Amino acid sequence: MMFSPARRIAVAAALVTTVGVGSMVAAASATGASRPQQRQLAVAALSDFKVVLTATREPRHPLLAKVTASGFQRSDGQWKLISIKRLGKAFEGDVNVCSLKTIQFKNNTAISPPVIRFDAIRVRLLLGPALGCSRAIISERWTP
């Protein structure tokens, strides 16, 4: 079966377009592969303290995730990062949050000596549907 010259040109153009799009997709996924996959697990905020829990997949071990807590302090009406703290070791599987408690402890001038102000969290992580909640409670403090 013979194809007309116009049809041959159209088929060649379609092949070139398909190969070009395929290589763009491969290049995009190659650049995206070097970037770790992140998922926000929880956010809790009080009047002057906020914490954001994030799970980040390890690039070389896609089944492992590290969990970090980013502590923020309100200053001039905006949230400013105090610090980021890693919670525990790397967790395997689909990690999530069972419970998150935030504590904001302010100075009390009636108490002598004055109490040091701090912000804190207490977290229990869900280690997956089969394993359930971790027995360990992870505690972290931020001193603004």
Instruction: Tell me, yes or no, whether 58 and 24 share the same domain.
Output: no
What's residue 111's pLDDT? 61
Instruction: Tell me, yes or no, whether 30 and 76 share the same domain.
Output: no
Nearest alpha carbon to residue 117 among 42, 43, 47: 47
More confident residue, 15 or 65: 65
Instruction: Tell me, yes or no, whether 82 and 21 share the same domain.
Output: no
CA distance 142 to 82: 7
Q: Model confidence at 95, in pLDDT bands (50, 70, 90)? A: confident
Per-residue pLDDT tens for 100-129? 999 887 666 666 666 667 889 999 999 888
Instruction: Tell me, yes or no, whether 49 and 89 share the same domain.
Output: yes
Instruction: Tell me, yes or no, whether 43 and 100 share the same domain.
Output: yes
Residues 35-46 have a mean pLDDT of 89
Q: How many domains would you assign to the chain? A: 2
- Could you tell me the residue range of the domain that residue 18 belongs to? 1-35
Among 70-74, 97-101, 111-115, 128-132, the least confident range: 111-115
